Structure 1
Amino acid sequence: MMPFTDEDLRPPVSSIIESKVAPMLARDGGAIELLDIKDGRVFVQLQGACVGCSASGSTLKYVVEKELKAAIHPDLEIVNVPQGMENKLEEI
C-alpha cells in the first residue's frame, strides 16, 4: 500500500521528471510530460522523438520507473499515455 497521497507524490515525481528524465530525453530529441498521478500510478506522455521509438518502453521501465521507485517508493508504477488518450486515463 502506498503511504503517500497522490497529491503528496506530485512534487517529488515532477521534480525527478523535470530535473533528471526530461534533460536525458531532450538530448535525443524527445520529451516527457507528467499528466497525472492516481493510486500510485504515474501517468506520463512521451513526446517528440520518443513517440514511436522502439526503445521508449525500455526507457520508461528501466530509466523513469526505476528512478522514481528508488527515490520515492518501490510500489510506484509508470504508465505511458498514448496520444489522444489524455482525457481517458481511467481506460488505461
Structure 2
Amino acid sequence: MFIQTEATPNPATLKFLPGKVVLETGTAEFRSATEAEASPLASRIFAVPGVTGVFFGYDFITVTKQDQEWQHLKPAILGAIMEHFMTGAPVMGSAAQDDADLDGEFFEKGDETIVATIKELLETRVRPAVAQDGGDITFRGFRDGKVYLNMKGACSGCPSSTATLKHGVQNLLRHFVPEVQEVEAV
C-alpha cells in the first residue's frame, strides 16, 4: 500500500491520501482521542503522540499536530493508516454517523430559497476546492444577511482561512446571492 501526503495551507495539518475510499459519504472530524473512539482508524491515529485532530473526507485523511515536527510524526501516522487498512477494519464504528449535523442549521422562515442557493454554491464551487486543501466548509446558518459556516479539517485553525472566507467565499456568495452581506466562521 502506497500512501501519498500533501501539504495544506495550514502548516499544522498534513493531508494523507491512502489511494482508497476513506468515507463513502459525508465527512467526519475528531478533535480529541475521546471523540475518536467512534472510529477505529481515528483512534489509531490519535494513539500517535502529538496528534490533536483527525478529519476524514471521501478519499483523504487530514491530521493536525501540536508542536512536533512532521518528520518525526509522519512515519508513525503513515504506519497507523497502513496498519488499519491492512486489517480490513471499518473506518467508522457501527454506532457512528457522519457529522452533517443538519439539526444545528438555523435560518428564518421565508429564507428557504436563499439558503438553498447558498448551499448549492457551497456544494458545487466551494467544498471541492477546500477538499483539495484537506478541509471542508459546511453551512450552519443564515440570519440578517450573514452566512455562518463551519470550517473543518485543515481549514479549522488555518492562518489563511480568514482570507478564504472573506475574499473567496464571501465574494462568491455576494455575487450570486445579493441578500448575503457577510460570511463568518462558527
Q: TM-score per shorter chain, which class? A: 0.7 to 0.9
Q: Within 2, Cα distance between the matches of 1:64 and 1:15?
A: 13
8 Å Cα contact 1:30/1:46 also seen in 2: yes
Alignment of 1:33-44 (within 5 A): 33-44=138-149
Q: Which of 163, 173, 181 is the equivalent residue of 1:68?
A: 173
How many residue pairs align between the two structures? 77
Q: Which structure would you say has the larger RCO, counting Cα contacts within 8 Å and 6 or more residues apart?
A: 1
Structure 1 unaligned runs (5+)? 82-92
Other structure's SS at 1:22 match: helix
Tell me which amino acid in the other structure corresponds to 1:68: L
8 Å Cα contact 2:138/2:149 also seen in 1: yes
Other structure's SS at 2:183 match: strand
Q: Give 2:120's aligned residue.
A: 15
Q: Give 2:160's aligned residue.
A: 55
8 Å Cα contact 2:145/2:179 also seen in 1: no
TM-score (norm 2): 0.40
Aligned Cα root-mean-square deviation (Å)? 1.3
> By percentage of residues, which structure has more helix?
1
Structure 2 unaligned runs (5+)? 1-109
Q: Give 2:132's aligned residue.
A: 27
Q: Within 2, Cα distance between the matches of 1:37 and 1:23?
A: 21
% identical equivalent positions: 34
Tell me which amino acid in the other structure corresponds to 2:155: C
Q: Within 2, Cα distance between the matches of 1:74 and 1:62?
A: 17
Q: Within 2, Cα distance between the matches of 1:77 and 1:63?
A: 12
Q: Within 1, Cα distance between the matches of 2:155 and 2:140?
A: 16
Q: Within 1, Cα distance between the matches of 2:111 and 2:170?
A: 16
